[in-house]
Amino acid sequence: MQMVSRTSKHSQLGDVSTPHVAGDMTEAYIKVSETTVSGGAVTSVQFTGLDLESDETYLIYVLLKNATASASTISMTVNSDATATNYYAQTMIRSDTTAAGNRTNDAQIGYMNASDFYHGHLFVHKLAGVNPWANYVSCYNATATVNVWNGAWVHNSTTNVTTLTIIGSTASSIADGSKIIIYKLG
Amino acid sequence: MVLTNVLIVDTKTGKQERKKKDVTLPPHNKPDLKTSSGDWKKLKTVLKAKGIITKESEVE
């Protein structure tokens, strides 16, 4: 188990004079998965075996490199539902001195320029009987003008989330070396 | 649908598998920094529908 932060016990786990016990880790973000793409670019990375209602919150770091010479909008879908109209998204994008808000129907979490990168961190939440939500902050455009894209979406089903898929709008845009790390709130 | 490479990760076992699958690509939404709301997009659509402009790019 690896932790990010939050309330820890046993002197914040820095005390190694005695072994840590399971109880020391009960108030922490616990790593569920760390995946690095290799063997060639892919269009999507799908995570199965999740249980969002039980875990309630996932913290996800998404670090992507664009393998193509085309831009790619990055989305994160739930339970393999690729129907864009089942998601309600609100975004705010800033570039230099310009800011713009948009309301769309999709599961977008950001954007990659051609041959560029995407860096985002997301929280995904769900309680039983309630729709799943995602909120995120991401950045792109590796030039003097850093673009910041943050927003949220909600899915229209209250079904438990067991699968999350990070997917680009351009086929094979997720390059080797891209990394996705998922933590749950233990 | 496009037939493309995907990576599937089973978070229970840690097993990773690459597959060729038919995938529905999500919408490509280029960030629109020229507008501050959907109203501008609607206006362009109306102007085009009424024949006032022939292409939405005329009022970019």
Q: For A93-118, write each residue's pLDDT tens digit.
A: 888 778 888 889 999 999 999 999 99
Distance from CA of A43 to the nearest CA of B (A): 6
Give CA torsion, residues A177, A92, A100, A90, to 10 deg. Answer: 110
A8 in any annotated domain? no
A77 shares contact with chain B (CB less than 8 Å): yes
Beta bridge partners of A119: A63, A139
Whether this model's ipTM surpasses 0.90 comes out as: no
Pairwise CB contact (< 8 Å): B31 & A111: yes
Residue A62 lies in a domain: yes
Shortest Cα distance, chain A CAs vs residue B57, angstroms: 18
Q: Which residues neighbour B11 within 8 Å (Cβ) at sequence distance 6 or greater?
A: A32, A33, A47, A48, A49, A50, A182
Residues in chain A: 186
* A1 inside domain: no
Q: Is residue A163 part of a domain?
A: yes
Whole-prediction pTM: 0.81
> Is residue A105 in some structural domain?
yes
Domain assignment of residue A22, yes or no:
no
Q: Is residue A126 in a domain?
A: yes
Helix/strand/coil for B45? helix
| Nearest to A58, CA basis, from A118, A138, A4, A96 | A4
Instruction: Enumerate residues 6+ apart whose C-beta is below 8 A from A47.
Output: A33, A35, A163, A164, A165, A180, A182, B9, B11
pLDDT band at A5 (very low <50, low <70, confident <90, very high): very low
In whole angstroms, give the CA distance from residue A60 to residue A122. Answer: 5
* High-pLDDT (> 70) share of chain B, %: 77
Least confident range from A69-73, A161-165, B51-55: namely B51-55
Distance CA B12, CA A127 (A): 21
Give the residue, A29 or A109, on which the prediction is more confident: A109
Q: Which of A32, A75, A102 sits opposite B26 (nearest CB)?
A: A75
pLDDT at A102: 87
What residue numbers bound the domain in which A110 lies?
A: 32-185
Number of domains in chain A: 1
Choose among B4, B9, B27: nearest Cβ to A47. Answer: B9
Q: Average pLDDT in the A64-87 region?
A: 97
What's the gap between Cα B44 and its chain centre?
19
Does residue A89 sit within a domain? yes
Could you tell me the CATH number of the domain that includes residue A63?
Answer: 2.60.120
